[in-house]
Amino acid sequence: MTVTEGPESARVELAAGGSLQGAIEGDVRVFRAVPYAEPPVGALRWRPARPHPGWEGVRDATVDGPSAPQMSVEGGDPVLGGHGAPPFDDDCLTLNVWTPAAAGAARPVLVWIHGGGFVSGSGSLPLYSGETFARDGDLVVVSVNYRIGPLGYLYPGEKDGDPAGNFWLTDQLAALRWVKENIAAFGGDPDLVTVAGQSGGAVSTAALAGHPEARELFRRVILQSPPFGLRLPTPAEYQERTEAYLDIAGVDSVEQLRALPWQLLIGAGGGLFAKTMRWGYWPTPFLPVVDDITLSRHPAQTLLHGAATDIDVLIGWTREEATFGFALDEAHAAATKEQVVARLADTFGDDGAAEAYAAYARSRPGARPADVLMDLISDELFRVPCLELAEARAALGRPVWAYQFDLPTPAYEGRLGAAHCLELPFVFDNFDAWSHAPFLAGLDPRVRDGLARTMHRAWIAFIRTGDPNHPEMPAWERYDQRTRTTMRFDSVVGAVGDLAGPVRRLYAARGRSRS
């Protein structure tokens, strides 16, 4: 397995035969649209991923391939400005690789799994370019395209005569196996792999950690804003969604679905989106399913069992996660106290809702009902389950570092605060790729760039050593049950003891009251 480098391009000989012709972009060599599994088309729709058979000769790897089919909003959305762009196609199981220009010793590897609410995103987006990590950290970076929306998350179950599901997970496992077999050809160390993801990608990352092969495939995980508060259905519970989807698509069986063009499948997914929306809850028309075949437990629990306890964990959240989806929506921004108390009752019970409202209002002086609602959704879906994982890892004496991203954006008169996804351009330190994103408007470049350098270097340090500390930031201790150290990323970066103490105690009291 070798890399042939020239002034204009790079060529890689893969382990299983065949070659890739990449290109130089900036200071790194890039190999795009590399197939890692057979195209999941025709009879292979809603089937587990199969290894790609390979090819003879030299394959061009200089142009991105299609992204997974998904809805695309013309003009983008008001927060990110878009999270997926054509071309889309069923034949999407490819990955991109970035490697430093200089050959040398085996380098640590970062595998990035994009998020997007299980319905959007792509590993080929410029937002997730591995160039900065490869260049600044001397890393090999891999980003993965996998099936999303109905093609990846629909659970056919008995409708297909085959109980297999979670096709997205089989895709990601196939990609990691490809990395294990081939990454040395790109200068990467197959025994020093970190898997990282954000939002739905962080759920994927945790789910992968629970797979029996995980310890052979990667050593560390970075979980950015995982929505571990989602309740995941069993196969029996998912059947209602499957039936609803078939009805919207106008068919009676999964076999009939296989005959439809993907555009109609995505359109039917939009119908399921509308059908499953509830006020005060993050919309998730498609979800992973705990099927005891591909996924044996909720991903929030995987890192607390078996060999997964040995995996190094970096986990964190943004202070105002929920504003991403709700702050600009009038139906939520205009919430009344009565509405919010009723929503709180779902979590704290009728007897505890008023007290919980008062606790949230005290934590944010001058809070409007909508502010309490934003904090509730943020905590319930993201922050509290992340804290619970950190607490449980600490109780086991296993390594875990925790952070909270606090820097608010001034966009939209500050209504978004430190919203979901806001940490991404700081972690990648690639603001030029985010110039289209409305939620970055108005950030002070000096504060922005300084914080980005600090976070980017911390992620590199963790990927390389399993410890995020580096000389350009304050000391960051592991999370334990004595100090509960959490790194606060803001205009001033600093470690804080029990940063989320009030909300942690509020939810702990809820648990005790229900036990």
372 and 440 inside one domain: yes
205 and 333 inside one domain: no
- Catalytically annotated residue among 321, 380, 391, 423: 321
Q: Is 46 among the domain residues?
A: yes
Distance in angstroms (rounded) separating the CA atoms of residues 252 and 245: 10
N-terminal to C-terminal alpha carbon distance within the chain? 57
| Rg (the chain; Cα; Å) | 22
Active site residue 321: yes
Q: What's the pLDDT score for residue 7?
A: 44
332 and 479 inside one domain: yes
Using the structure block, give the residue that is written with the tokens 């709700």.
Answer: 326
Q: Is 481 among the domain residues?
A: yes
230 and 365 inside one domain: no
247 and 353 inside one domain: no
Please name the helix (run of DSSP H) or strand (run of DSSP E) that holds residue 264, with its range, or none. helix 262-276
Nearest to 451 by CA among 418, 490, 398: 490
Q: Is 296 among the domain residues?
A: no
141 and 75 inside one domain: yes
- Confirm if 45 and 257 have CB atoms less than 8 A apart: yes
- Catalytically annotated residue among 378, 420, 423, 456: 420
What SS3 string covers 212-223? CCHHHHCCEEEE
Which of 265, 282, 299 is the last residue before a domain boundary? 282
Active site residue 52: no
Q: Is 105 among the domain residues?
A: yes
Distance in angstroms (rounded) separating the CA atoms of residues 426 and 448: 8
Long-range contacts of 50-57 (CB under 8 A, 24+ apart): 50/174, 51/174, 51/177, 51/178, 52/93, 52/178, 54/14, 54/16, 54/17, 54/18, 55/18, 56/17, 56/18, 57/18, 57/19
Amino acid at 126: P
Active site residue 143: no
132 and 272 inside one domain: yes
Q: Tokens in use for 147?
A: 């099936």
- Confirm if 209 and 308 have CB atoms less than 8 A apart: yes
337 and 252 inside one domain: no
Q: Tokens in use for 335?
A: 């919430």
Q: What's the pLDDT score for residue 102?
A: 55
189 and 257 inside one domain: yes
330 and 390 inside one domain: yes
| DSSP helix, strand, coil percent of the chain (3-state; round to 5) | 40, 20, 40
- Confirm if 456 and 483 have CB atoms less than 8 A apart: no
Q: Is 306 among the domain residues?
A: no
Q: Is 302 among the domain residues?
A: no
Give 438's contacts (C-beta < 8 A, 6+ positions apart). Answer: 78, 79, 80, 81, 411, 412
Distance in angstroms (rounded) separating the CA atoms of residues 397 and 478: 10
254 and 389 inside one domain: no
Output the domain CATH number for residue 103: 3.40.50.1820
- Catalytically annotated residue among 120, 124, 199, 225: 199
- Confirm if 500 and 404 have CB atoms less than 8 A apart: yes
| Interhelix angle 369-378/337-363, nearest 10 degrees | 80
pLDDT tens for the chain, 515 residues: list them: 344 445 446 889 898 778 999 999 988 999 999 999 999 999 999 999 999 999 999 999 999 999 999 998 777 899 999 999 899 999 999 999 999 965 677 999 999 999 999 999 999 999 999 999 999 999 999 999 999 999 999 999 866 667 678 999 999 999 999 999 999 999 999 999 999 999 999 999 999 999 998 889 999 999 999 999 999 999 999 999 999 999 999 999 999 999 999 999 999 999 999 899 999 999 999 999 999 889 999 999 999 999 999 999 999 999 999 999 999 999 999 999 999 999 999 999 999 999 999 999 999 989 999 999 999 999 999 999 999 999 999 999 999 999 999 999 999 999 999 999 999 999 999 999 999 999 999 999 999 999 999 999 999 999 999 999 999 999 999 999 999 999 999 999 999 999 999 999 999 988 755 54
Distance in angstroms (rounded) separating the CA atoms of residues 81 and 436: 6
Q: Tokens in use for 72?
A: 């695309």
145 and 260 inside one domain: yes
Q: What's the pLDDT score for residue 1?
A: 39
Q: Is 299 among the domain residues?
A: no
For residue 329, give its domain range.
311-445+468-515
Q: How many domains does the chain have?
A: 2
Q: Is 15 among the domain residues?
A: yes
Please name the helix (run of DSSP H) or strand (run of DSSP E) that holds residue 404, with its range, or none. strand 400-405
